Structure formats: structure tokens, C-alpha cells
Amino acid sequence: MHEHLSEAAAFHGESCPGQVLGVRLARAGLRAVGIDDPLSDCWRKQIIVFVEIDRCAADAIMTVTGCRVGKRTMKLKDYGIMAATFVNLESGRAVRVVAREEARELAPSYAPGVSDKYEQQRQAYAVMPEDDMFDLEEVEVTLPPEDMPGPPRSRVACEKCGDYVQDGREVNDAGAVLCHACARGGYFTRRR
């Protein structure tokens, strides 16, 4: 675990409670779906992780699992929940791991004498039993072919702006093929 924590802190740029939590969460999730070495060649494209928060733990999960958005093995579903679902594509087994809010309250008992709240959490999360930190549940995840790792399954041009949309992410609006931004509005506004 020490190696994972060092790698995660280097990737993230600091060692914080979220990094420790993310490393522990990733290790629990991998173990639950039967993956012992996610960085080995045989597992690299046999795992997909859905991360439910865009915080520190996401970087740690990336580091431990080797999953990446660009490799299509990490999916960000920003629900604002400290949770991740691990899917073993070979077996089909999926487990969602959720950080227990009570872990914060238990931190003083696992790192007594540490006055700084964040340092206390960082130290406590490194030694706290998994049962005190996480809830694990078997879940079902349906992955359509266009969400799987590998080359794009399709590519179409938006009829309004001309941007190319891959993997079935286009919107059919009254017969017109559009990107999400043109069909429903986007996070940006075009200056024309």
C-alpha cells in the first residue's frame, strides 16, 4: 500500500486524505471483483471503473487501477459521491464501493493526538479497517459496445456546427444529427 500511496501522491501533487481514501477504495474494489494486478497486460483492458466524484480520490483510483479516461477504462459520473464501481469485464462481476461518512467521525480514534483534522484523517485512513471505511455492494452494469475500450465504433458530423461525434453520442433531433451542445446546449457558448 505504501507504494500505491507514494505513486498517487506524486500523480496528484500532494498527499491528502482523499488520496489515502482513493487508494484504499481502489484496492477494496479490485479485490472484490477478483483483479489482483490491474497494471498487468492481461488485465489492462479487462477492467472499467466508474468514479462518482471529481475529487482527490479519483486521481488515486486512476493510479492504482491504471484506468484512464483516454483509454476508455475510466468513466466519470460526477454524482458528488465518494464512490466508484469496479467492473471485471472478463467475469462480468461489478462491485460499487462507497466511502462511509462515519469514517470521518472515527478518525480521532485511529490517529489520536493528531490535532490537524486533515492530517488526522490521512493517518487514520491508512490504518482503519475497510469495514469502518466502506460499504461494498454487488451491482449490475450494462456496457453497450460503444462504451467499451478500443477504436471508435462510429463517427458522424453534427449537421449544425460540423463537429464530429463519436461512439453514438450524437442526438437525433427531428431527423437532424446534432452534437449535444447544438441539440441541448453545452457548457460553452459559441462566439459567432
Q: What is the pLDDT of residues 1-21, one digit of tens each?
A: 778 777 877 777 777 788 899
**Residue 111 and residue 52 in one domain:** yes
**Residue 48 and residue 113 in one domain:** yes
- Give the residue among 85, 94, 99 at the shortest CA–CA distance from 50: 85
Whole-angstrom distance, CA of residue 49 vs CA of residue 26? 9
**Residue 32 and residue 83 in one domain:** yes
What residues contact residue 134 under an 8 Å CB cut-off, 6+ apart? 24, 25, 28, 97, 98, 99, 100
143-158: average pLDDT: 92
- Give the model confidence (pLDDT) of 82-125 as tens digits: 999 999 999 999 999 999 999 999 999 999 999 999 999 989 99
In 116-158, alpha helices (H): 117-127, 130-133
Give the CATH number of the domain where residue 174 resides: 3.30.60
- In this structure, is residue 90 part of a structural domain? yes
**Residue 92 and residue 168 in one domain:** no
- Give the residue among 141, 143, 121, 140 at the shortest CA–CA distance from 132: 121
**Residue 123 and residue 160 in one domain:** no
Q: Say how many Å lie between the first and final Cα of the chain, rounded.
A: 52
Give the total number of structural domains in the chain.
2
Query: Full-prediction pTM beyond 0.85?
Result: yes
**Residue 37 and residue 128 in one domain:** yes
What residues contact residue 93 under an 8 Å CB cut-off, 6+ apart? 33, 34, 87, 138
What pLDDT shows up at residue 38? 83
Give the CATH number of the domain where residue 37 resides: 3.30.1330.130
What residues contact residue 61 under an 8 Å CB cut-off, 6+ apart? 22, 25, 26, 49, 51, 67, 74, 84
**Residue 40 and residue 124 in one domain:** yes
**Residue 84 and residue 157 in one domain:** no
- In this structure, is residue 114 part of a structural domain? yes
**pLDDT band at residue 73, thresholds of 50, 70 and 90?**
very high
Q: Confirm if 67 and 73 have CB atoms less than 8 A apart.
A: yes
**Residue 60 and residue 116 in one domain:** yes
Residue 41 in this model has a pLDDT that exceeds 80? no
Per the structure, the complete domain to which residue 41 belongs is given by: 2-143
Q: Confirm if 99 and 60 have CB atoms less than 8 A apart.
A: no
**pLDDT band at residue 150, thresholds of 50, 70 and 90?**
confident
